[in-house]
């Protein structure tokens, strides 16, 4: 077990390093001339600079070193928690992120919670319904949920709940009230995915012979689904919850923009708009870290939930 | 307990139809029968005969799209066919217990065995009660499970198939039912394991004086265990009666077919062995002290597992060698080694004197024209997107042996060999029945005109009457083409009619080998005798012979 | 039976309709060999499609998607109004018989802008899925078919891509190569590569161990022949369903990126840009955002419905 844990953590670190490296190469090597982008982002007219000034700027951004040298010095800084300076705002990237992290974490946290509750609850009820017409409608409904652009749901909510009904604030990030609309908006696509997969999973489980065994004991359908169906059906969804972290982060960028919340997502949007490369690199790497950590936790949770999985070496 | 006419279960003129995309399909077309208290009844029929639907209707667990269109089911005199589900539920477990078909998937994989039995007990008592644990352990002991305390704490995947079957019996017995329904109790496990479990079940049923309804495709099982059996075909009961009467004077064509398909029954307790002597013939394939070891993970006791242990035998030209063994005996491994899919850890295999067991894939390729395989499951051995024509001629195309009209001619010839109409060439596998697909697979294996054909459980996925036809075809092809067979099977009764020579494998070792006549008539090893005795129908046939 | 042969014949042919020439080529390989066979490709497609078309939902969804495709290829057929023609007198009109979707702040007809925007949005989505399909399929086949170390390396790489949230990866790529429809499409496409690679690999691994593949090998078929004639055609089903689903996902993702302001430069407008533009008039003219959003939803829902029907039909 200990050995498994260590190898799994090692694997997670490897993935994280890979994610950082790919992002680095996209941001620093893909553009023909990162210096121009960086200078433009800092508000400097590139054409007005003399060659000497250009060389000076190149050195200041660390672009005068070899590719590998640049990469490794940046990586080393990263490992020490130094994400560099924002080109646009002139502040340390870590300060920028730290200031916005609580807002985004509470939004994402509430959204993940809501999506799991809504998605699982919906699928649970839908799988118990036996009346065909209603069942068909319930089975199709989730796919409507992830057919909607998330940001558009946000606009719809603002129009409906803020402008027309006046129940909740349309924008801002003051207090819990302002969190409700964005969190629900962010939760809807994920919950639709959970519902869809779980309904299918329940459908498969209901075809399993052990459900017949359960019913033959005299259990009701409800009892059989609760005691024998749920755990077996939910196991595959657990992996999905881990994978959805990426979508939640992506969604946060849009939702924060729609609801004008000052969070990481909005920072990402602004930074890309102004091509503030160090900030973009830090945010992408941080999201990858969140993804890797959550999936590591999910992986470690599995054996506790499924007795068939043990972390002994595989039989070859 | 029982009312009025004294029947425990009575089925009257029952008709059931399934709603499908293409309209209603009538699966049960007016079925009448009754089960008395303490009686063991068997329903025998091939797949699609409707036997399982009848069983589901009695338990009240018909599929969502099935409907009782006519007739009635009485349980203890009470009409239940249209009773509300709440009433049916009260009967389940309490009055009718079900032992489902496949023990490997019949238990919830994420719940401890003891809890699953306890749940059935709680359901009967209405609530959790103090003596629950003791009752669970007692049930486990009753169904013959050793170390019940440990087994109750384990999960299903930690138990063997036979033990899981016993747990399922314990669950079915937990509610102290008056009727136990056993759905295909012999289809999923090894014969010897099944025989022990069924013997035990039979004893429990007799002790408790309860009724047993066995659903089976194997007339041998019904003949051995039932007081009375019903033969079903196409949603109707075509014949019913006591075993000795039905066996001695079957009236219906279907009954005769089923009897003919149970080799232990057809020859008065003896197997119908075709080739009592194996005439002398040159050797074509031989195993010389072949062993195969697989590495086991560290900490599991032994470092390696011997799938095969110094196995030697030989196959003669134009004859059939049968390799018989239960799961884990090494029969599949030996087949894979002979086909060059696996390499032996020790020993070697020769084909016409040439060593072949250490050839690489490329060096083995020319030999593929002479050694071919017919796989176990005809439903999976044909590419679903290939027409029958494409499937059958593929080996010829692969070896570049024929083109265009020549291929067409070859395909026609091959289909003729396996008695399929030429019109089938344009069809897809899904349009063919299991038996027809197996004929296609045989035709494909014969395309290269091989000298040696491996038959891996060629009939285990087929209905009994169909499998008899396939075996007859194989015999005919051998007479016609002089091809040698290596037939691998878990079922001694299958090989009786085709084998010249039999090898009995157990846990990787040859326990006995010899001419078919000797193995079936005077087996020398205890294990061979156990295997022979476990063949369904054997008990009844021997009794009848006395 | 259901476990062993979940893909019935013809499924890929059905899906081929939606996935353009790549699918048709594969099927053509699979179907080659016997000219006299009654099973022509067209016949197979027709046979497979007929029962599906009898389902009203599928027929409606498919017709709607075909309409959108027409809008993308020949917008002139669906509207005579020029998308960029401003008319200050008619600004911010609500939907009516004259302007089906209403007009925007410059008096441009929103319906016409949606129809003309289809070209950009549909092309972007198809380009994205095309990129993902080609690279994901190659990675998956490589990984699943060769196995061993190649598999380990490829799958680690896919794990890394998977760890990068799709939209953020797209944002990074857009930062590096610039704004506009094509960069956005490329970025979105790269984001969905891992899904394709994993699905393809899983399918190839599954099909590779099926008895009929072993039978072909024992019948002397080379690896190339086995791959092209048995493994690929039979692995294709779930991948095609995923591709259909991902066209929808790509539409949403590109719309999201243009909503953030990284899409086409004005006055050209994709669906996402239109939703974004309307945002400023949410209080006075909500249809400017809501109608295009509803339209996008219908397109994606139709795609999902088609994918799901195909999946269930397998």
DSSP string, A216-234: HTT--HHHHIIIIIHHHHH
Confidence bin at B124 (pLDDT 50/70/90): confident
Q: What is the pLDDT of residue B488?
A: 93
Detail the DSSP E strand segments found in C36-185: none
Residues of C whose CB is below 8 A from B426: 37-39
Closest by CA to C194, choosing from C161, C225, C221, C219, is: C161
Pairwise CB contact (< 8 Å): A288 & C300: no
C250 has pLDDT over 50: yes
User: What does the pLDDT look like over A178-217, one tens digit per residue?
Assistant: 888 899 999 998 899 889 889 988 988 998 889 999 999 9
Q: What is the pLDDT of residue C48?
A: 66
Distance of residue B539 Cα from the nearest chain A Cα, in angstroms:
31
Q: What is the pLDDT of residue C58?
A: 84
| Residue range B225-249: mean pLDDT, rounded | 89
Residues of A whose CB is below 8 A from C261: 269, 273
Helix/strand number for chain A, H first, E second: 13, 0
Q: What is the pLDDT of residue B301?
A: 63
Q: What is the pLDDT of residue C102?
A: 75
Q: How far, in Å, CA of B205 to CA of B199, rounded?
A: 10
Query: Which single residue is written with the structure tokens 């390696």?
Result: B304
CA distances (Å), origin C263, targets B61, B291, B329, C180: 57, 66, 65, 4
C3 has pLDDT over 80: no
| Residue range B192-220: mean pLDDT, rounded | 89
B19 CB within 8 Å of a chain A CB: no
Residues of A whose CB is below 8 A from C168: 249-250, 253, 268, 283-284, 287
Chains touching B (3+ CB pairs < 8 Å): A, C
Pairwise CB contact (< 8 Å): A26 & C279: no
Average pLDDT, chain C: 77
Closest by CA to A271, choosing from A89, A21, A77, A95, is: A89
Pairwise CB contact (< 8 Å): C260 & A284: no
Sheet with B211-216: strands ordered across: B96-99, B179-183, B211-216, B40-44, B228-233, B236-241
Q: How far, in Å, CA of B352 to CA of B338, rounded?
A: 13
Tell me which residues of chain B, numbers 161 to 190, contact chain A at a CB-CB cutoff of 8 Å.
Answer: 168, 171-172, 174-175
Distance of residue A159 Cα from the nearest chain C Cα, in angstroms:
7
Confidence bin at A310 (pLDDT 50/70/90): low
Interface test with B, best of A135, A211, A217 (most B CBs within 10 A): A217
Q: How far, in Å, CA of A181 to CA of A190, rounded?
A: 15
Distance of residue C200 Cα from the nearest chain B Cα, in angstroms:
18
Q: What is the pLDDT of residue C173?
A: 86
Residue C282 · residue C86 · CB < 8 Å: no
Interface test with B, best of C31, C34, C240 (most B CBs within 10 A): C34
Residue B495 · residue B459 · CB < 8 Å: no
Chains touching C (3+ CB pairs < 8 Å): A, B
The full 3-state SS of B280-340, as one line of letters, equals: CCCEEEEEEEEEEEEECCCCCCCCEEEEEEEEEEEEECCCEEEEECCCCCCHHHHHHHHCC
C214-218 contacts, C-beta under 8 A, 24 or more apart: C214/B341, C214/B375, C215/B373, C215/B375, C215/B381, C215/B382, C215/B441, C215/B444, C216/B383, C216/B394, C216/B398, C218/B339, C218/B368, C218/B372, C218/B373
Q: What is the pLDDT of residue C8?
A: 31
Give me the total of CB pairs closer than 8 Å, taking one residue from chain A and one from chain C. Answer: 158
Distance of residue C300 Cα from the nearest chain A Cα, in angstroms:
5
Tokens of B47: 């797949």
C165 CB within 8 Å of a chain A CB: yes
Distance of residue C304 Cα from the nearest chain B Cα, in angstroms:
22
Residues of C whose CB is below 8 A from B395: 219-221
User: What does the pLDDT look like over B335-378, one tens digit per residue?
Assistant: 999 998 889 999 999 999 899 988 888 899 999 999 999 998 88
Q: What is the pLDDT of residue C36?
A: 38
| Residue range C53-70: mean pLDDT, rounded | 84
Q: What is the pLDDT of residue C20?
A: 30
Pairwise CB contact (< 8 Å): C212 & B383: yes
Q: Which residues of B touch C (CB under 8 A)?
A: 21, 339, 341, 365, 368-369, 372-373, 375-377, 379-385, 387, 389-390, 394-395, 397-399, 407-408, 426, 428, 430, 441, 444, 447-448
Confidence bin at B431 (pLDDT 50/70/90): confident
Q: List the alpha helices (DSSP H) in B2-112.
A: 51-59, 85-91
B1 has pLDDT over 50: no
Closest by CA to C206, choosing from C164, C243, C238, is: C238
Distance of residue C78 Cα from the nearest chain A Cα, in angstroms:
24
Helix/strand number for chain B, H first, E second: 21, 20
Measure CB to CB from residue B398 to each of C210, C219, C233 and give the nearest one: C219
Distance of residue A112 Cα from the nearest chain B Cα, in angstroms:
26
C103 has pLDDT over 80: no
Pairwise CB contact (< 8 Å): B98 & A212: yes
Contacts of B533 (CB under 8 A, 6+ apart): B195, B539
C89 has pLDDT over 70: yes
Measure CB to CB from residue A307 to each of B92, B155, B294 and give the nearest one: B155
Q: What is the pLDDT of residue B334?
A: 92
Residue B120 · residue B76 · CB < 8 Å: no
User: What does the pLDDT look like over A243-291, one tens digit per residue?
Assistant: 888 888 888 888 988 888 888 888 888 888 888 888 888 999 889 998 8
Half-sphere exposure of residue B396: CA atoms within 13 angstroms, side-chain side: 23
User: What does the pLDDT look like over A70-111, one tens digit per residue?
Assistant: 888 888 888 887 878 777 777 888 888 888 888 899 899 999
| Nearest residue of C to residue A148, measured between CA atoms | C297
C22 has pLDDT over 50: no
């Amino acid at each position: 077990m200990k050995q498994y844990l260590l190898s799994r953590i090692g694997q997670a670190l490897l993935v994280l390093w890979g994610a950082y490296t790919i992002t680095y190469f996209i941001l620093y090597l893909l553009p023909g001339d990162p210096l121009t982008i960086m200078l433009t982002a800092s508000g400097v007219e590139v054409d007005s600079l003399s060659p000497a000034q250009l060389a000076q700027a190149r050195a200041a951004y660390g672009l005068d070193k070899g590719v590998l040298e640049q990469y490794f010095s940046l990586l080393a800084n990263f490992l020490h928690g130094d994400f560099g300076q924002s080109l646009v705002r002139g502040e340390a990237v870590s300060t920028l992120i730290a200031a916005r992290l609580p807002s985004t974490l509470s939004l994402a946290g509430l959204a993940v919670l809501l999506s799991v509750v809504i998605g699982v609850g919906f699928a649970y009820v839908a799988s118990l319904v036996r009346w065909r017409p209603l069942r068909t409608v319930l089975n199709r409904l989730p796919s409507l949920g992830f057919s909607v652009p998330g940001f558009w749901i946000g606009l719809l909510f603002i129009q409906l709940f803020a402008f027309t009904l006046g129940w909740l604030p349309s924008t801002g990030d003051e207090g819990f009230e302002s969190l409700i609309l964005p969190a629900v908006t962010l939760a809807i696509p994920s919950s639709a995915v959970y519902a869809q997969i779980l309904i299918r999973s329940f459908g498969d489980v209901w075809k399993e012979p052990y459900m017949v065994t359960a019913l033959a004991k005299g259990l009701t359908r409800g009892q059989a689904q609760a005691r024998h169906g749920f755990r077996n059906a939910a196991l595959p969804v657990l992996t999905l919850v881990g994978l959805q972290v990426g979508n939640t982060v992506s969604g946060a960028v849009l939702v924060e923009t729609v609801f004008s919340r000052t969070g990481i997502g909005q920072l990402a949007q602004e930074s890309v708009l102004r091509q503030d490369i160090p900030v973009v690199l830090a945010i992408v790497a941080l999201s990858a870290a969140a993804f890797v950590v959550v999936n590591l936790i999910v992986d470690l949770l599995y054996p506790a939930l499924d007795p068939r999985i043990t972390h002994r070496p595989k039989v070859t | 307990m029982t009312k009025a006419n004294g029947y425990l279960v009575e089925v009257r003129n029952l008709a059931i139809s399934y709603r499908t995309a293409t309209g209603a399909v009538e699966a049960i077309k007016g079925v009448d029968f009754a089960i008395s208290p303490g009686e063991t009844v068997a329903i025998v029929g091939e797949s699609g005969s409707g036997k399982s639907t009848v069983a589901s209707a009695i338990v009240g667990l018909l599929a969502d799209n099935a409907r009782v269109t006519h007739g009635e089911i009485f349980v203890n005199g009470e009409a239940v066919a249209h009773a509300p589900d709440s009433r049916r539920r009260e009967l389940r477990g309490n009055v009718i217990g079900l032992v489902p078909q496949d023990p490997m998937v019949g238990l919830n994989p994420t719940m401890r065995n003891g809890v699953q039995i306890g749940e059935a007990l709680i359901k009967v008592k209405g609530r959790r009660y103090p003596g629950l644990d003791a009752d669970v352990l007692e049930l486990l002991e009753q169904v013959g499970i050793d170390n019940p305390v440990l087994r109750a704490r384990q999960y299903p995947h930690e138990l063997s198939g036979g033990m899981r079957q016993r747990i399922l019996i314990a669950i079915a017995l937990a509610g102290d039912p008056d009727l136990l329904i056993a759905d295909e109790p012999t289809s999923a496990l090894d014969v010897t394991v099944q025989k022990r479990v069924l013997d035990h079940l039979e004893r429990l049923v007799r002790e408790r004086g309860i009724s047993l309804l066995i659903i089976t495709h194997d007339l041998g099982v019904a003949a051995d265990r039932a007081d009375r059996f019903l033969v079903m075909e196409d949603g109707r009961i075509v014949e019913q009666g006591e075993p000795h009467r039905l066996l001695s004077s079957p009236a219906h064509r279907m009954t005769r077919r089923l009897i003919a398909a149970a080799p232990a029954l057809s020859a008065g307790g003896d197997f119908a062995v075709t080739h009592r002597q194996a005439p002398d013939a040159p050797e074509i394939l031989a195993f010389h002290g072949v062993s195969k070891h697989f590495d086991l993970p560290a900490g599991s006791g032994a470092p390696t597992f011997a799938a095969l242990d110094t196995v030697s035998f030989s196959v003669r030209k134009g004859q059939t060698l049968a390799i018989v063994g239960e799961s884990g005996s090494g029969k599949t491994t030996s087949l894979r080694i002979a086909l060059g899919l696996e390499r032996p850890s020790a020993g070697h295999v020769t084909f016409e004197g040439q060593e072949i067991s250490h050839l690489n894939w490329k060096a083995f390729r020319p030999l593929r024209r002479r050694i071919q395989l017919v796989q176990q499951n005809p439903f999976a051995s044909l590419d679903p997107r290939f027409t029958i024509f494409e499937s059958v001629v593929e080996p010829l195309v692969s070896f570049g042996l024929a083109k265009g009209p020549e291929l067409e001619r070859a395909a026609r010839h091959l289909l003729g060999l396996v008695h399929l109409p030429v019109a089938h060439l344009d069809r897809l596998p899904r349009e063919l029945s299991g038996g027809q697909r197996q004929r296609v697979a045989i035709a494909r294996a014969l395309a290269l005109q091989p000298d040696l054909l491996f038959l891996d459980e060629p009939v285990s996925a087929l209905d009994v009457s169909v499998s008899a036809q396939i075996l007859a075809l194989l015999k005919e092809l051998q007479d016609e083409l002089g091809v040698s067979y290596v037939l691998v099977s878990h079922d001694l009764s299958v090989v009786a009619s085709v084998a010249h020579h039999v090898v009995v494998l157990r846990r990787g070792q040859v326990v006995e080998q010899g001419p078919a006549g000797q193995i079936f008539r005077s087996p020398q090893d205890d294990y061979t005798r156990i295997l022979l005795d476990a063949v369904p129908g054997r008990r009844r046939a021997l009794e009848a012979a006395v | 039976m259901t476990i062993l042969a979940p893909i019935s014949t013809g499924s890929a042919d059905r899906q081929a309709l939606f996935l353009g020439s790549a699918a048709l080529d594969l099927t053509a390989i699979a179907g080659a060999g016997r000219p006299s066979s009654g099973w022509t490709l067209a016949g197979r497609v027709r046979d497979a499609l007929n029962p599906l078309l009898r389902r009203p939902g599928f027929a409606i969804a498919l017709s709607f998607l075909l309409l959108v495709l027409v809008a993308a290829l020949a917008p002139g057929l669906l509207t005579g109004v020029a998308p960029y023609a401003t008319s200050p007198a008619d600004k911010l009109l609500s939907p009516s018989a004259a302007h089906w979707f209403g007009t925007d702040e410059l008096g441009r007809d929103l319906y016409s802008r949606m129809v003309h925007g289809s070209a950009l949005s549909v092309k972007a989505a198809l380009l994205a899925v095309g990129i993902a399909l080609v690279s994901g399929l190659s990675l998956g086949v490589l990984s699943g078919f060769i196995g061993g170390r190649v598999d380990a390396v490829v799958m680690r790489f896919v794990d890394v891509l998977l760890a990068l949230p799709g939209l953020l990866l797209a944002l990074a790529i857009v930062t590096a190569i610039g704004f506009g429809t094509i960069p956005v499409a490329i970025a979105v496409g790269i984001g969905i590569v891992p899904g394709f690679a994993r699905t393809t690999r899983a399918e190839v691994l599954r099909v590779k161990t099926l008895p009929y593949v072993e039978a072909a090998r024992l019948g002397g078929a080379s690896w190339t022949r086995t791959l092209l004639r048995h493994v690929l055609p039979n692995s294709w089903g779930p991948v095609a369903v995923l591709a259909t689903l991902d066209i929808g996902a790509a539409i949403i993702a590109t719309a999201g990126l243009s909503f953030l302001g990284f899409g086409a430069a004005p006055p050209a407008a994709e669906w996402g840009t239109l939703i974004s533009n309307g945002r400023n008039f949410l209080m006075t003219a909500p249809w400017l955002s809501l109608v295009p959003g509803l339209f996008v939803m219908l397109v994606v829902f139709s795609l999902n419905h088609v994918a799901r029907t195909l999946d269930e039909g397998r």
